[in-house]
Copies of this chain bind each other. A is one copy, B any other.
Amino acid sequence: MSIFTSPVAKIFTQPILEIDLNNLLDNYRKLSEIIAPATPSAVIKDDAYGLGASEVAKILYEQAECRNFWVAHAIEGAKIAKDFPEANIFVLQGIGEDSVDLFKQYSLIPVISSPEMLAFWKKQAIEVKPVIQVETGLNRLGFTKANLKRLSRKDLRIFGMVISHLSCADEKDHFMNAHQLEEFNFIKQKYFPELPASLSASDGAFLGPDFHFDMVRLGAALYGINTAPYRPNQMQNVITVKAPVLQVKDLAKGEFVGYSATYRAATKRKTAIVSIGYGDGIPRSLSNTGKVFFKSEGQWKEARIIGRVSMDNIICDISGIEDICTGDMGYIIFSEYTLDDIARDAGTISYEVLSRVGKNTRYKRSYITK
């Protein structure tokens, strides 16, 4: 077919990111039921794992009465504080010299995890009651028992909530779950019997009511990730990533594909060059192993990624998939091949893939709302 007589083909170049806030809202409601009567709260740190902290907070605040949000850094809290005046915004990394002004200006609530940070806090004249994080076995941030022993009674009364964080809650029967629960109960009863408490994030939500305490911090599961991978995902898919085919190309037997010529065609192949790459957050570890999906003849067909994923392009093998042409959309992440699937194929976790994708400004980004 000559390019001179054919109709002008569809030509698109930009990758597309769709964020389904309806599904996110449904996930929040479902999780809220699972953890009831504990209070749900939303983890929107890291710009809501790249999906937009403002947009995510807005729908949860307005349509699900969410009033408790967790961010990692004060600058993340500052960006949303004005829009949600009735919300508590907890800052997991805590307070420091580089953020104290933001805490004052936006009434953010620090999570205090060390004696040094507490000493710093006590020098500030800030009205809010901070959260204390205690160590129960993750060995990340948190007051150890040795630290706790040295707190005065007056110190103990500073706080408004006590939290810790589970290390292995995505494995239902991991011995650490029971160990951390016991440690947390011990610390809470000994030092903070009156305080509201929070131990679990999304994965802990599925471990049963003993793990829920007063508040559960819902993050990954909100965004559609299966945080209870020992059973089918109960969450709905939230993100769709797709990108147009820029070119369809025939490969002769023996030809190489991509950087470092890591793929060589054993037989004649047909390839599609898709306009997305690691510059859009698609892991380069999918080189020669990931998949792109196309709708063909009413069905989803799988095309293997061949050669290295490059910054702006992915090449996939569409031999045997009928009628793929320029302008057709290759699906990278969607309901049939979720964050969990792509993360498994990329050799990492869904959280990391999600956190990468949404920060890239080359996407045509849209939010689905009712």
Contacts and interface: CB of A to CB of B under 8 A. Distances in A.
17 contacts: A11-B116, A11-B117, A11-B120, A12-B96, A12-B97, A13-B98, A14-B75, A76-B362, A114-B247, A116-B326, A116-B327, A140-B258, A140-B273, A167-B256, A167-B259, A168-B261, A278-B351
A58 interface: no
Contacts of A96: 11-14, 244, 327
B95 A246 contact: no
Contact of A12 (B98, B279, B326): B98
A96 to B, nearest CB: 4
Contacts of A114: 246-247, 326
A87 to B, nearest CB: 20
Interface stretch (A23-31, A34-42, A296-304, A309-317): A309-317
A359 interface: yes
Contacts of A249: 135, 139, 144
Contacts of A310: 140
A307 interface: yes
A347 B241 CA distance: 25
A294 to B, nearest CB: 17
A92 interface: yes
A161 interface: no
A94 interface: yes
A1 B196 CA distance: 31
Given A46-B312, A73-B13, A311-B45, A168 B279 contact: no
Given A8-B120, A279-B45, A355-B311, A348 B167 contact: no
A339 to B, nearest CB: 14
Interface in A12-64: 12-14, 45-47, 49
Q: How many copies does the complex hold?
A: 2
Interface size class of A (residues with CB under 8 A): 35 or more
Consensus secondary structure, chain A interface: loop
A7 to B, nearest CB: 9
A146 B325 CA distance: 17
A113 B16 CA distance: 21
A359 B362 contact: no
Given A73-B312, A278-B351, A281-B356, 19 more contacts: A4-B152, A6-B119, A8-B123, A10-B97, A11-B117, A12-B98, A13-B74, A13-B93, A14-B75, A14-B96, A45-B311, A113-B247, A114-B247, A114-B326, A138-B259, A140-B315, A141-B246, A141-B313, A285-B348
